[in-house]
Amino acid sequence: MMSSAADASYDPRYLEGIEFFNQCEFFESHEVWEDLWTEYHGPDRGFYQGLIQVAVALHHFGNSNIRGAKKLNLGCRKYLDPYRPFHLGLDLDQFLAQLDRCFAAVMASEEEFPRLEIDAELIPEIHLTAEPNSGRSPS
C-alpha cells in the first residue's frame, strides 16, 4: 500500500476495507465498503459498489456458492469498468486481470452446481499506487 501521507487523501473506510480484503476477510471488507457506499453520493459511488461485489463474489467462492460467485463476478464489471484503467490508487486493469485468473474455473464451468474450490494463490490483492505517468498521488 502507499505511504501514510498519501493514505490521508483516502476515506479511512476505503483503506480499512482494503486491509480486510488483503487478509481474505471478504465479508468484513464488504461490510466496511458498504458503510462507505451507503453514505457516499459522489462520483466514486459505482467504484465502491464494484469493490463490494468483488468482495462478495470472493466470499461466495470461498463458501462454495459458485452460482453466487459467478453472478457477482460478472456484475462487478459493470461498476468497475467505467473507472478503468486506474482509480483511487488502484490499477483496475491489473486487478481485474487477477480476478479473471482467480475465477477462470468458475466462469468456464457449465455445470449447474460445480464443485470448485478457490485457489488461495490466485486471490487478488489490492495495493494502492500513484497514478502511472502522472507523477502525482491519486486523489
Model pLDDT for residues 14-26, shown as the tens digit of each residue? 999 999 999 999 9
CA distance 15 to 26: 14
Q: What is the pLDDT of residue 132?
A: 67
The CATH homologous superfamily of the domain defined by 11-122: TTHA0068-like (1.10.3450.10)
Tell whether the model's pLDDT for residue 39 goes beyond 70.
Answer: yes
Q: What is the pLDDT of residue 124?
A: 96
Tell whether the model's pLDDT for residue 64 goes beyond 60.
Answer: yes
CA distance 16 to 55: 13
Please give the sequence-ordered ranges of beta strands (E in DSSP) within the chain, or none if there are none. Answer: 86-87, 90-91
Question: pLDDT band at residue 113, thresholds of 50, 70 and 90?
Answer: confident
Average pLDDT rounded to a whole number, residues 93-109: 94
Question: pLDDT band at residue 136, thresholds of 50, 70 and 90?
Answer: very low
Q: Percent of the chain having pLDDT more than 90? A: 76
Angle of helix 26-39 relative to helix 12-22, nearest 10 degrees, comes to 160
